[in-house]
C-alpha cells in the first residue's frame, strides 16, 4: 500500500515540477502537502508526498465540511438555527468559519449515525474512522469541491469562504484571489484543506503539519502557496498589517527619497513635514507629485489614528473607547481603497491617521490598554463608525443621545449667498426654491429641493463639502431659512451621527464611565474582546513586572518567570526597567497586534513586551533583555549590535551574537555595556 502511493505520485510530480514547486514554503517543518490541479485533474506539486500516503492523523475539524454537507443534504438544515459556541451563538456558516465544535456535534446528533455514515460515504469517507492519511483526504475534497456550484450546498461553500475571510483560516487569504478553506488542530497536528479561486476552483491544497495549529501554522503556509500560484493577482496580503496611503490629500512635490522601497524607520521629509516611516514604504512618482504607501502594523495604525482623532480627549476611558472603535473600523473596512492598491488613506475619509515623531504617552497608553480588542457582533467585527457630535439624535442606533449637550461647537450656523451656493454647485438652472423636503427620524435632512433640483441630504452635504469646504455644513441636522439674498443654515452636531459620538464619549468618561460602558452605549449589543468570544485583558503584578493577560491564571507561570529573570538580569547588568508584559492568548492575536508573522513568539518595544501564551523561557529572557537594554540607552545602535548583544547574553547562536561575543571577550561586559549606554567608540 505504502509503495503504490509513492509509485503513483512520483511520476506525476516529476512531470510538472517545472510548473509549480511548493516545498520551499514548508522549510523547517515536518509534515506533507498535496497540491492538486483541478482543471487538469492531476497532481500539480507535493511536499513529502511519500509521507502523504503513509502517515495517518486524526482529521478533526477538516471533517466539519463533510458533516455540514450531510446536514444540508438531509433536508433538516435550518439556516436560522444557532448553537452556542465560544464566539457566541452561531448559525451554520459562521460555525464553519469559526470551527465551532458545539454546532457540528449538535448536527451529528440530529442526523444520527446512519445519516452521517451515508453522508460521509458520498465523498468516499468512512464515518467514525479515527485516522486518515492526507492522500485519502484528497479524493474526498475533490468530490466536495466539484460540487461547489450546487445550490443545496451553497451555505457550506460560503462557510469555507468566511473561514478565510474572518474565521480560523484567515491567514490562508491571498489578497487578490478568493480562497476557501478549513483548518484543523488536533494534538500535535495542524491541518488545512482549501481551494482557490473560490468561484472557479483551479487548485486544491491539503496540508498536514506535525505540531502547531491549523489557523496559526498551516493556514499561513497555504496563503503563501496560493499567492505564489496566482502571481498576476498577488498582493502581499498580511492580515496583521494595513497598507496606508500617506499624504493622501496633499501629495508632496518635494521629498527626500527617490522612488523605490525603503525599510521601516526611514526618515521621510517633505516640504512641510518630517516623519519616520511607520513600516516598510514604497515611494512612487506621479507627474510632479510623490505618493508614499506604508505597510503598518495594525496597532501602530491605531496609535496614529488616536493622534488624529483623540488628541482632544481629556480622559483615559474616552481615549480607550476611541482606540477600540478605530481598531474595529480598521479590521472591518480593510481594503476600503483596494482599487487604488491600499487599505486606508490617512484622512477623515477613512480615519485621520497621524504618524508623529513623538507619540503621546497617554495615547500609546490607550492603545496598549485595549491591545487587540475589537467590537464583535455575531462573530464579526462591527461596522464601527464614529463621529464628532450627535447633535442630540443618533442616526444609528436611531435614538436620542442621552449624553449630548448643546455645548462647545455642537451648535452651528452657516450663512451663504444663494447665488454663491448655486454657482459652487454648478447648477444648470436655478429657481427660488430651497427647502428640506423630507427628514430622517433623527431629524437629519434626507431630501432637499435645491433651487429646483431634487437632492439627497448626504449628496448635498458632500457636494457642498467638496465645493466650499467641509467645515461649512458640519451635519445634516439643520434648519434652513431664506433671508433675502442669503440662506441661513442653523444646525446641531458634527458628522453623520452613526455609532460613537466623540463629545458624548468624553462626557461619559468625565462622569466616571469606563470604555466598555461608553462602547456599550454607542454600539449596543456588541461585545468587546480580543476575539469574538469577548476575551478581556486583566492585570496582575509580580516584582517589577506588570502583566496583562486574557487568562491570568494560565499565564501566572510566565509572569513569575519574567519577574525572576528580570531580577537576575537587573543585578547582573546593573540596569533597571519596570516592564509591562502583554500575553496574547493565540499566535493570531499576537500577530494582529504586532505585525510579526514569522514564527517569533515575542516582541519588545521600549519597556513594552509582547508574548504569546506559553512562550519559552528563552523567548521571555530575550524580550526582557531587549526591554532592559533599549530603555537604558539614548543611542540608536545598529541592528546587529541590538540583536547580537541580547542574543549573546541569552546564550543564543547567531552571526550577530558571535560578533558581540568577540567584543565581550576582548573588552569585557562592563566596557561593552558602557558602549551600549553611551555609544560605540
Q: Binding residues for Zn ion, per CB under 5 A?
A: 345, 349-350
Closest distance between Zn ion and the C-beta of residue 26, in Å? 25
Nearer to Zn ion, 533 or 631 (CB): 631
DSSP 524: T
Nearer to Zn ion, 486 or 652 (CB): 652
DSSP 227: H
Nearer to Zn ion, 97 or 345 (CB): 345
Closest distance between Zn ion and the C-beta of residue 340, in Å? 9
Cα 282–Cα 22–Cα 188 angle in degrees, nearest 5: 105
Residue 358 contacts by C-beta under 8 Å, 6 or more apart in sequence? none
Closest distance between Zn ion and the C-beta of residue 134, in Å? 36
Strand partners for 43: 36
Closest distance between Zn ion and the C-beta of residue 575, in Å? 17
Closest CA to 414 of 454, 469, 452: 469
Rounded Cα gap, residues 111 and 101, in angstroms = 15
Residue 538 contacts by C-beta under 8 Å, 6 or more apart in sequence? 548, 549, 550, 552
Nearer to Zn ion, 407 or 658 (CB): 658
Closest distance between Zn ion and the C-beta of residue 660, in Å? 12
Closest distance between Zn ion and the C-beta of residue 345, in Å? 3
Closest distance between Zn ion and the C-beta of residue 344, in Å? 6
First to last CA, the chain: 67
Cβ 172 vs Cβ 160: under 8 Å: no
Reading the block at residue 319, the C-alpha cell is 481615549
Could you write out the DSSP letters of every residue in 282-299? EEEEETTEEEEEEEEEHH
Nearer to Zn ion, 349 or 554 (CB): 349
Reading the block at residue 666, the C-alpha cell is 576582548
Nearer to Zn ion, 453 or 661 (CB): 661
Rounded Cα gap, residues 481 and 434, in angstroms = 9
Could you write out the DSSP letters of every residue in 196-244? ESSSS--EEEEEEEESS-IIIIIHHHHHHHHHHH-GGGB----TTEEEE
Q: Cell 468624553 sits at which residue?
A: 506
Closest distance between Zn ion and the C-beta of residue 643, in Å? 5
Nearer to Zn ion, 477 or 562 (CB): 562
Rounded Cα gap, residues 248 and 232, in angstroms = 26
Nearer to Zn ion, 22 or 350 (CB): 350
Rounded Cα gap, residues 252 and 248, in angstroms = 9
Closest distance between Zn ion and the C-beta of residue 622, in Å? 6
Strand partners for 387: 501
Q: Is the N-terminal amide bond of 374 cis, ω within 30° of 0?
A: no
Nearer to Zn ion, 290 or 641 (CB): 641
Nearer to Zn ion, 73 or 346 (CB): 346
Nearer to Zn ion, 249 or 398 (CB): 249
Rounded Cα gap, residues 519 and 327, in angstroms = 13
Closest distance between Zn ion and the C-beta of residue 22, in Å? 30
Residue 260, judged by CB atoms within 10 A of its CB (0-12, 13-18, 19+), counts as: exposed
Closest distance between Zn ion and the C-beta of residue 273, in Å? 19
Closest CA to 310 of 394, 370, 250: 370
Q: Cell 469606563 sits at which residue?
A: 514
Closest distance between Zn ion and the C-beta of residue 391, in Å? 24
612 C-beta neighbours (distance < 10 Å), count: 23
Nearer to Zn ion, 24 or 349 (CB): 349
Nearer to Zn ion, 43 or 345 (CB): 345
Strands 267-269, 274-276: pairing is antiparallel
Contacts 24+ apart (CB under 8 A), 252-255: 252/289, 252/290, 252/292, 253/288, 253/289, 253/290, 255/283, 255/290, 255/292
Closest distance between Zn ion and the C-beta of residue 7, in Å? 47
Rounded Cα gap, residues 191 and 194, in angstroms = 10
Amino acid at each position: 500500500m505504502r509503495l503504490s502511493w509513492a509509485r503513483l505520485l512520483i511520476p506525476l510530480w516529476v512531470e510538472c515540477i517545472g510548473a509549480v514547486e511548493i516545498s520551499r514554503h514548508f522549510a523547517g517543518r515536518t509534515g506533507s502537502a498535496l497540491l492538486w490541479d483541478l482543471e487538469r485533474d492531476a497532481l500539480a506539486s507535493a511536499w513529502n508526498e511519500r509521507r502523504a500516503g503513509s502517515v495517518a492523523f486524526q482529521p478533526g475539524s477538516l471533517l466539519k465540511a463533510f458533516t455540514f454537507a450531510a446536514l444540508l443534504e438531509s433536508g433538516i438544515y435550518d439556516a436560522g438555527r444557532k448553537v452556542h459556541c465560544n464566539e457566541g451563538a452561531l448559525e451554520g456558516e459562521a460555525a464553519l468559519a469559526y470551527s465551532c465544535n458545539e454546532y457540528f456535534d449538535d448536527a451529528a446528533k440530529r442526523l444520527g449515525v446512519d445519516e452521517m455514515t451515508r453522508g460521509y460515504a458520498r465523498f468516499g469517507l468512512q464515518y467514525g474512522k479515527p485516522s486518515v492519511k492526507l492522500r485519502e483526504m484528497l479524493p474526498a475534497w475533490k468530490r466536495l469541491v466539484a460540487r461547489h456550484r450546487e445550490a443545496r450546498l451553497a451555505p457550506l461553500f460560503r462557510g469555507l469562504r468566511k473561514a478565510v475571510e474572518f474565521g480560523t483560516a484567515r491567514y490562508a487569504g491571498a489578497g487578490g484571489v478568493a480562497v476557501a478553506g478549513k483548518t484543523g488542530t488536533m494534538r500535535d497536528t495542524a491541518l488545512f484543506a482549501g481551494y482557490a479561486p473560490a468561484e472557479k476552483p483551479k487548485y486544491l491544497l491539503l496540508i498536514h503539519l506535525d505540531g502547531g495549529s491549523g489557523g496559526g501554522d498551516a493556514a499561513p503556509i497555504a496563503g503563501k502557496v496560493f499567492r505564489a500560484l496566482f502571481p498576476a493577482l498577488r498582493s502581499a496580503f498580511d492580515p496583521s498589517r494595513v497598507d496606508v496611503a500617506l499624504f493622501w490629500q496633499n501629495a508632496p512635490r518635494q521629498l527626500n527619497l527617490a522612488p523605490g522601497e525603503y525599510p521601516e524607520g526611514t526618515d521621510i521629509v517633505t516640504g512641510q513635514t518630517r516623519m519616520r516611516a511607520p513600516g516598510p514604504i514604497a515611494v512612487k512618482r506621479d507627474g510632479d507629485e510623490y505618493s508614499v504607501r506604508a505597510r503598518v502594523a495594525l496597532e501602530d495604525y491605531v496609535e496614529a489614528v488616536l493622534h488624529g482623532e483623540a488628541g482632544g480627549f481629556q480622559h483615559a476611558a474616552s481615549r480607550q473607547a476611541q482606540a477600540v472603535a478605530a481598531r474595529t473600523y480598521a479590521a472591518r473596512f480593510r481594503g476600503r481603497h483596494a482599487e487604488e492598491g491600499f487599505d486606508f488613506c490617512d484622512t477623515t475619509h477613512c480615519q485621520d491617521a497621524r504618524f508623529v515623531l513623538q507619540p503621546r504617552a497617554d495615547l500609546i497608553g490607550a492603545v496598549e490598554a485595549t491591545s487587540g480588542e475589537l467590537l464583535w457582533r455575531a462573530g464579526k467585527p462591527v461596522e464601527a463608525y464614529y463621529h464628532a457630535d450627535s447633535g442630540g439624535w443618533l442616526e444609528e442606533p436611531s435614538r436620542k443621545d442621552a449624553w449630548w449637550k448643546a455645548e462647545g461647537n455642537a451648535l452651528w450656523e452657516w450663512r451663504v449667498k444663494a447665488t454663491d451656493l448655486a454657482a459652487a454647485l454648478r447648477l444648470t438652472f436655478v429657481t427660488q426654491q430651497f427647502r428640506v423636503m423630507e427628514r430622517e427620524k433623527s431629524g437629519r435632512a434626507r431630501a432637499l429641493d435645491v433651487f429646483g433640483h431634487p437632492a439627497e441630504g448626504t449628496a448635498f452635504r458632500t457636494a457642498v463639502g467638496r465645493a466650499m469646504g467641509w467645515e461649512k455644513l458640519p451635519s445634516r441636522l439643520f434648519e434652513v431659512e431664506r433671508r433675502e439674498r442669503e440662506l441661513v443654515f442653523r444646525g446641531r452636531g458634527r458628522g453623520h451621527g452613526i455609532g460613537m459620538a466623540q463629545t458624548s464619549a468624553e462626557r461619559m468618561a468625565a462622569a466616571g464611565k469606563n470604555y466598555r460602558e461608553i462602547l456599550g452605549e454607542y454600539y449596543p449589543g456588541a461585545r468587546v474582546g480580543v476575539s469574538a468570544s469577548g476575551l478581556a485583558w486583566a492585570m496582575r503584578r509580580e516584582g517589577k513586572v506588570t502583566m496583562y493577560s486574557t487568562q491570568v491564571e494560565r499565564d501566572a507561570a510566565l509572569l513569575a518567570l519574567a519577574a525572576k529573570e528580570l531580577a537576575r538580569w537587573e543585578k547582573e547588568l546593573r540596569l533597571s526597567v519596570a516592564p509591562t508584559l502583554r500575553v496574547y492568548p493565540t499566535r493570531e492575536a499576537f500577530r494582529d497586534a504586532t505585525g510579526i508573522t514569522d514564527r517569533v513568539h515575542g516582541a519588545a518595544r521600549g519597556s513594552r513586551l509582547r508574548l504569546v501564551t506559553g512562550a519559552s523561557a528563552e523567548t521571555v529572557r530575550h524580550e526582557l533583555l531587549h526591554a532592559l537594554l533599549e530603555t537604558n540607552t539614548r543611542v540608536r545602535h545598529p541592528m546587529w549590535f541590538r540583536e547580537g548583544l541580547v542574543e549573546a547574553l541569552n546564550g543564543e547562536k547567531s552571526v550577530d551574537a558571535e560578533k558581540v561575543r568577540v567584543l565581550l571577550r576582548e573588552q569585557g561586559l562592563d566596557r561593552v555595556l558602557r558602549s551600549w549606554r553611551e555609544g560605540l567608540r
